[in-house]
């Protein structure tokens, strides 16, 4: 058989939240990815990929430090292989001792998946419950929790926006050309740019590829987004460009918001943001005149100063102009999970972390307080951590402090594919198959009006000796004595009869809140073995499909699944069979309104509005003479991804991850592209080669994300969090200021490549 005749295996790219469908052809060795192409049958991406998907072989088969057996740290501090029974027994015993001595609440769970793998993490609530754990977090709590909280306060739900159909697209701290965030991003951007009836507005200190395509680039001074976005909202009110009839019909709280915005000195704010006022006014007028506006705020502002306040004012802009619940505007997605859903307690109320008292948003402890929750003698401190598909030693702020915290734990268990920076510190490391060796899926399904789900089938067999995450969770739950054969037997009997019989046996158990937490493992052990093609790991989706059928009856009916409860079964069967991904809901635009928990949207969030009003009295941000540059630590570029991409050879360009610096700053420092500089922040310093570019503002430098990983003892590039501090975080929700790190840059003269300090 020639390669061209070989089978194409449907799967997905795992390098950003879009999870574009791909098809993979294996090489003659049966393991290498010989060819990768976009999957035209995928219902969201429809054959689209960016350049990154084509290098997925480096994830699967590259130099990654792949784990092949469970490891235990021995008495001499090195790892030794152990069998699974020993590892599970010892971990469970240790967790039980910690629970019995200090309370299960001292066991902290972190992770549960990244950009491409959420299925295993869906089983973690069972393990947490089995050992009495209560607190958890993930990378979302260093990115999106500010927006989640603001959305909960204003709308009661999270929103996304319809860029495919909008007349005007607004990107705030977002470069979709590299970071994507919605299907077929590069194609959609080019379509908008080419269409004379449509416009793009970009708020970004960098002249990104997206900004190059935009009609309006508001090249804001780093750290002043709040002044600029507030000026934009103020122009809408002061020039009476708001949609009064729509506001009257749908919004509460217009008067107090308008009063604050009327008092905004627009000229002064534009000057602080260093964006020409006429350009700001033109952009705002374009928004006001458009039939539809879609807005996306992302990490450029969400990991920056005033991030929660910017989220609030950004939402004022599209709500004041009536851009919700219609084609081309903001919408409330359907989905199989509740990612991002928050109760929206007023600030100061709601759940808090046990030591620092930080607000828990969407169930997640802020990442920047995790080290503080451990490095203390507080009796409620976290003493054990289970880290699953995540790498906090590298990806959370102030890595030195995070490493110290992880080392100080009584027990650290890491579940992962490779020997990560976090796994290196663990007491036990449990190896799992890669994302192409097992059933996988993400719950990042936010499309509209047609939403999708993609259960990816294995492309390859996993090497012997590995267990999937659901199997690990099931074994831990059983070792804790939380579930066993007596619980499984009646459900297995029912599952052998029919799904309907299974449902009748399963649903009464869910009246018990404890059983509800254990449900993923219960499903895995009982319904799982009845699923075709060894798809036990997908069992948890049976419950998710039924919940979706109840939550989105119209969308599911429009998608051809009929009415609940039959719709839930049909959807689950479609998920199991749909190797290329399936459509789950087809919504009317009105569905967004129906999904809101209250009839009217709240414009006024008093505690946030007070701070917007108080902005007039805040001095304009000034650079620190000791650290005159602003470092954006973690820029997405053409060859950066999350830290699961460990093989540095996957980067075809910018292999060492250079520091981007403006032409004027480079001239002042006397450096050229490729020259080495010392980059110093309050947290540390690094030597890095510069890339001189006229896309950066004077005083602004950027490092890429995903660099500084150590594979087989070799590290490439600068790990951004060696340069950040945990105390630099948002006042409201604790998200880090990674995109605003005060820094100093000093020339070290010509050197061809990055060197360690």
The verdict on 50 binding ligand SF4 (CB under 6 A) reads yes
* Cα 144 from Cα 150, distance rounded (Å): 10
- Taking the least distance from each CB to ligand SF4, the nearer of 44 and 200 is 44
Binding segment for ligand SF4 (CB under 6 A), chosen from 14-22, 268-276, 443-451, 571-579, is: 14-22
- Taking the least distance from each CB to ligand SF4, the nearer of 125 and 176 is 176
- Taking the least distance from each CB to ligand SF4, the nearer of 19 and 145 is 19
Binding segment for ligand SF4 (CB under 6 A), chosen from 44-52, 149-157, 618-626, 657-665, is: 44-52
Residue 27 tokens read as 């090489």
Build a one-symbol-per-residue string for 529-558: x at contacts with ligand SF4 by CB under 6 A, - elsewhere. Answer: ------------------------------
- Taking the least distance from each CB to ligand SF4, the nearer of 19 and 680 is 19
Helices 277-289 + 266-273 axis angle, to 10: 110
- Taking the least distance from each CB to ligand SF4, the nearer of 7 and 187 is 187
The verdict on 189 binding ligand SF4 (CB under 6 A) reads no
- Taking the least distance from each CB to ligand SF4, the nearer of 13 and 157 is 13
Question: Of 55, 129, 160, 180, which one interacts with ligand SF4 (CB under 6 A)?
Answer: 180
- Taking the least distance from each CB to ligand SF4, the nearer of 53 and 709 is 53
The verdict on 299 binding ligand SF4 (CB under 6 A) reads no
Contacts of residue 540, Cβ cutoff 8 Å, sequence gap at least 6: 119, 122, 123, 470, 519, 520, 523, 524
- Taking the least distance from each CB to ligand SF4, the nearer of 399 and 640 is 640
Query: Minimum distance between the CB of residue 180 and ligand SF4, rounded to whole angstroms?
Result: 4
Residue 324 to residues 171, 181, 392, Cα–Cα distance (Å): 16, 19, 36
Question: Of 9, 10, 11, 18, which one interacts with ligand SF4 (CB under 6 A)?
Answer: 18
Chain centroid to Cα 339, Å, comes to 10
The verdict on 473 binding ligand SF4 (CB under 6 A) reads no
Contacts of residue 168, Cβ cutoff 8 Å, sequence gap at least 6: 198, 199, 200, 201, 286, 287, 290, 292, 293, 294
The string of DSSP letters for 618-654 reads SPPP--BTTB-EEEEEEE--TT---TT---GGG-SS-
Question: Of 25, 49, 537, 680, which one interacts with ligand SF4 (CB under 6 A)?
Answer: 49
* Cα 247 from Cα 553, distance rounded (Å): 28
The verdict on 129 binding ligand SF4 (CB under 6 A) reads no
Query: Minimum distance between the CB of residue 754 and ligand SF4, rounded to whole angstroms?
Result: 24
Query: Minimum distance between the CB of residue 387 and ligand SF4, rounded to whole angstroms?
Result: 24
Residue 368 tokens read as 């920047």
The string of DSSP letters for 179-219 reads H--STTHHHHHHHHHH-TT-EEEEE-SS--HHHHH-SEEE-
Residue 166 to residues 163, 325, 592, 625, 729, Cα–Cα distance (Å): 5, 12, 16, 43, 33
Binding segment for ligand SF4 (CB under 6 A), chosen from 45-53, 371-379, 397-405, 555-563, is: 45-53
The b-or-e profile of 68-86 (16+ CB within 10 A means b, else e) is: ebbbbeeeeeebeebebee
- Taking the least distance from each CB to ligand SF4, the nearer of 180 and 475 is 180
Cα dihedral 41, 43, 47, 51 sign: negative
* Cα 351 from Cα 622, distance rounded (Å): 35
- Taking the least distance from each CB to ligand SF4, the nearer of 225 and 298 is 298
Residue 13 tokens read as 């790219």
Binding segment for ligand SF4 (CB under 6 A), chosen from 49-57, 389-397, 413-421, 477-485, is: 49-57
- Taking the least distance from each CB to ligand SF4, the nearer of 54 and 620 is 54
Query: Minimum distance between the CB of residue 184 and ligand SF4, rounded to whole angstroms?
Result: 8
Binding segment for ligand SF4 (CB under 6 A), chosen from 13-21, 191-199, 336-344, 599-607, is: 13-21
Residue 238 tokens read as 């002061």
Other CB atoms within 10 Å distance of the CB of residue 90: 18
Binding segment for ligand SF4 (CB under 6 A), chosen from 9-17, 193-201, 397-405, 559-567, is: 9-17
Residue 155 tokens read as 């709308």
Report phi then psi at 64, rounded to 5: -120, -5
Binding segment for ligand SF4 (CB under 6 A), chosen from 3-11, 15-23, 421-429, 498-506, is: 15-23
Residue length, the chain?
757
Contacts of residue 498, Cβ cutoff 8 Å, sequence gap at least 6: none
The string of DSSP letters for 377-426 reads --TT---EEEEES--HHHHSS-HHHHHHHHHHSSEEEEEESB--TTGGG-
Query: Minimum distance between the CB of residue 49 and ligand SF4, rounded to whole angstroms?
Result: 4
The verdict on 19 binding ligand SF4 (CB under 6 A) reads yes
The verdict on 16 binding ligand SF4 (CB under 6 A) reads yes
Binding segment for ligand SF4 (CB under 6 A), chosen from 12-20, 28-36, 314-322, 426-434, is: 12-20
Residue 302 tokens read as 């969400």
Residue keyed to tokens 């401190």 = 381
Residue 121 tokens read as 């993490």
Query: Minimum distance between the CB of residue 51 and ligand SF4, rounded to whole angstroms?
Result: 7
Count of residues in contact with ligand SF4, rule CB under 6 A: 11
Question: Of 15, 203, 319, 666, which one interacts with ligand SF4 (CB under 6 A)?
Answer: 15
- Taking the least distance from each CB to ligand SF4, the nearer of 286 and 454 is 454
Tally of CA atoms within 13 A in the half-sphere of 716 that contains its CB: 22
- Taking the least distance from each CB to ligand SF4, the nearer of 315 and 637 is 637
| Residues 52-71, interacting with ligand SF4 (CB under 6 A) | 52-53
- Could you check whether the bond before residue 565 is cis, i.e. omega within 30 degrees of 0? yes
- Taking the least distance from each CB to ligand SF4, the nearer of 21 and 70 is 21
Which parts of this chain interact with ligand SF4 (CB under 6 A)? Answer: 13, 15-16, 18-20, 49-50, 52-53, 180
């Amino acid at each position: 058989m020639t390669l061209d005749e070989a089978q194409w295996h449907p799967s997905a790219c795992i390098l950003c939240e879009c999870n574009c469908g791909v098809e993979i052809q294996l090489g003659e060795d049966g393991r290498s990815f010989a060819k990768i192409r976009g999957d035209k049958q995928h219902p969201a991406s429809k054959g689209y990929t960016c350049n990154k998907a084509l290098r997925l072989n480096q994830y699967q088969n590259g130099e990654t430090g792949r784990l092949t057996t469970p490891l235990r740290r021995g008495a001499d501090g090195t790892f030794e292989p152990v069998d699974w029974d020993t590892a599970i027994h010892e971990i469970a015993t240790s967790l039980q001792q910690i629970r019995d001595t200090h309370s299960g609440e001292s066991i902290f769970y972190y992770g549960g998946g990244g950009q491409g793998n959420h299925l295993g993490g869906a089983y973690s609530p069972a393990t947490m419950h089995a050992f009495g754990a209560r607190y958890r977090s993930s990378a979302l709590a260093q990115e999106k929790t500010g927006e989640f909280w603001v959305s909960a306060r204003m709308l009661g739900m999270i929103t996304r926006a319809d860029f495919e159909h909008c007349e005007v697209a607004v990107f705030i701290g977002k470069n979709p050309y590299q970071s994507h965030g919605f299907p077929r991003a590069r194609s959609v951007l080019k379509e908008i740019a080419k269409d004379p009836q449509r416009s793009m507005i970009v708020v970004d200190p960098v002249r990104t590829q997206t900004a190059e395509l935009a009609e309006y680039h508001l090249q804001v001074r780093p750290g002043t987004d709040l002044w600029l976005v507030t000026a934009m909202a103020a122009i809408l009110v002061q020039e009476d460009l708001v949609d009064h009839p729509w506001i009257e019909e749908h919004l509460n709280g217009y008067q107090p918001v308008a009063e604050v915005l009327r008092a905004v000195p627009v000229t002064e704010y534009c000057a602080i943001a260093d964006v020409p006022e006429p350009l700001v006014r033109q952009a705002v007028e374009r928004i006001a005149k458009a039939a539809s506006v879609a807005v996306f705020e992302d990490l450029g502002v969400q990991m920056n100063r005033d991030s929660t306040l910017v989220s609030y004012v950004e939402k004022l802009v599209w709500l004041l102009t009536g851009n919700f619940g219609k084609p081309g505007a903001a919408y409330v997605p359907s989905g199989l999970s509740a990612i991002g859903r928050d109760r929206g307690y007023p600030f100061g109320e709601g759940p808090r972390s046990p030591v620092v008292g930080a607000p828990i948003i969407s169930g997640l402890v802020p990442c920047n307080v995790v080290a503080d929750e451990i490095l203390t003698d507080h009796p409620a401190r976290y003493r054990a951590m289970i880290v699953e598909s995540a790498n906090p030693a590298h990806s959370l702020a102030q890595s030195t402090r995070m490493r110290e915290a992880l080392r100080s734990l009584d027990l650290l268990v890491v579940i992962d594919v490779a020997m990560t920076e976090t796994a290196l510190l663990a007491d036990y490391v449990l190896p799992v198959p890669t994302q192409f060796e097992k059933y996988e899926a993400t719950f990042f399904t936010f499309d509209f009006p047609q939403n999708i789900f993609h259960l990816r089938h294995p492309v390859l067999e996993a090497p012997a000796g590995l267990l999937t995450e659901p199997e690990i969770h099931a074994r831990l739950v059983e070792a804790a004595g939380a579930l066993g054969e007596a619980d499984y037997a009646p459900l297995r009997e029912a599952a052998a009869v029919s799904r309907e019989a299974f449902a009748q046996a399963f649903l009464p158990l869910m009246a018990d809140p404890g059983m509800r937490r254990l449900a993923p493992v219960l499903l895995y052990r009982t319904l799982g073995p009845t699923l075709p093609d060894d798809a036990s790991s997908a069992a948890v989706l049976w419950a998710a499909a039924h919940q979706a059928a109840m939550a989105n009856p119209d969308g599911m009916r429009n998608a051809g699944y009929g009415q609940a409860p039959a719709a839930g079964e049909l959807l689950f069967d479609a998920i199991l069979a749909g190797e290329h991904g399936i459509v789950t809901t087809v919504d009317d635009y009105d569905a967004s309104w129906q999904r809101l928990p209250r009839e009217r949207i709240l414009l006024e969030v008093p505690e946030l509005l007070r701070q917007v009003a108080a902005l007039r009295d805040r001095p304009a941000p000034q650079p620190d003479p000791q650290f005159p540059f602003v470092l954006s630590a973690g820029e997405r570029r053409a060859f950066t991804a999350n830290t699961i991409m460990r093989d540095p050879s996957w980067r075809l360009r910018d292999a060492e991850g250079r520091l981007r610096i403006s032409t004027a700053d480079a001239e002042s420092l006397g450096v050229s592209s490729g020259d080495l500089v010392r980059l110093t922040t309050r947290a540390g310093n690094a030597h890095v080669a510069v890339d001189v570019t006229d896309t950066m503002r004077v005083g602004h430098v950027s490092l890429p994300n995903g660099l500084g990983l150590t594979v087989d003892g070799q590290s490439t590039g600068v790990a951004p969090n060696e340069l950040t501090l945990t105390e630099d975080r948002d006042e409201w929700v604790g998200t880090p200021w990674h995109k605003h790190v005060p820094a100093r840059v000093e020339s070290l003269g010509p050197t061809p490549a990055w060197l360690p300090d």
